[in-house]
Homo-oligomer: A and B are copies of this chain.
Amino acid sequence: MKSTASFDLLKASARAPQSISKDETRRETERIRQELVGWQNRLYAENKRSVLVILQGMDASGKDGLIRRVFSGLNPQGVRVQSFKAPTDEERAHDFLWRIHAHAPRRGMIQIFNRSHYEDVLIARVSGLVGTQDAQQRFTAINAFEKLLQQAGTTILKFYLHISEEEQYERLQARVNDPTKHWKYEAGDAEKARQWPRYRAVYEDVFRQCSPKSCPWHLVPADQNWYKAYVVARALRDALVGMNPQYPATKQLRPR
């Protein structure tokens, strides 16, 4: 996992380092997942702070599968996944962070954003809805918003799942050919894949503009599902170790 502040996606590898063993890594991921169960329990019991995991990545970069691989096994009472699709009419009638803010994690929770406010400076730019100047305003707003959450006790982890053009092509084909994956296929998939260079450019802009030291983007090589799961699980574990949540003495902080 690398910090992405000045990252060239064209040169970034989408694969695990050669030195890394798949079997060992899988076992290690499993071990980390066990650790996460305990940490989550403490975070929930402490009921003071929270974790927000933001997942972005091109179509078929494996956001859904990653959520399953890393977060299945945690107590669902302390985990919430929020998927952001195209905004509704009502959502569009507000500022772009309005619908996001409503899903900020409450104390004690691990919240996962499957896509996020970053779509509003990604697809919104590629589609021409948002120009360079508006994007700049949004970057400023995003940085302020994330700082607000951090000051309220939220640890934010931002992951970009980096998939290669070749692997993406394979996966989108599978959606056509595999009956259990048909439902993921969308007519626009191929079109969006063709816009790859444009996406790359706006992603790089995001990494430059929205990676303050306290809240960096992390690039996750995403062509191999086992490696991606390991990188994210480890980063989450490390974050929780750093937070070191404690069982409180009584339930005073949890009024019913």
Q: Which residues of A contact B (CB under 8 A)?
A: 37, 45-47, 64, 67-68, 71-77, 79-81, 83, 85-86, 112, 114, 179-180, 182-186, 247-251, 254-256
Contact = CB atoms under 8 A, between A and B. Distances in A.
A208 B254 CA distance: 33
A74 B83 CA distance: 17
A67 B44 CA distance: 14
A81 B79 CA distance: 8
Nearest to A112: B76
Contacts of A67: 75-77
Nearest to A70: B76
A251 B185 contact: yes
Nearest to A65: B75
A69 B143 CA distance: 39
Nearest to A176: B250
Given A186-B256, A247-B180, A254-B183, A81 B73 contact: no
Nearest to A86: B256
A64 B77 CA distance: 8
Given A72-B75, A85-B256, 18 more contacts: A37-B72, A67-B75, A68-B75, A68-B77, A73-B73, A76-B79, A76-B80, A76-B81, A76-B112, A77-B81, A77-B114, A80-B80, A182-B247, A182-B248, A182-B249, A184-B251, A185-B250, A186-B256
A74 B77 contact: no
Contacts of A47: 183
Nearest to A248: B183
Contact of A182 (B86, B180, B250, B256): B250
Contacts of A45: 180, 183
Contacts of A250: 182-183, 185
Contact of A76 (B71, B85, B248): B71
A59 to B, nearest CB: 10
Contacts of A86: 255-256
A30 to B, nearest CB: 13
B76 A251 contact: no
Contacts of A85: 255-256
A201 B184 CA distance: 50
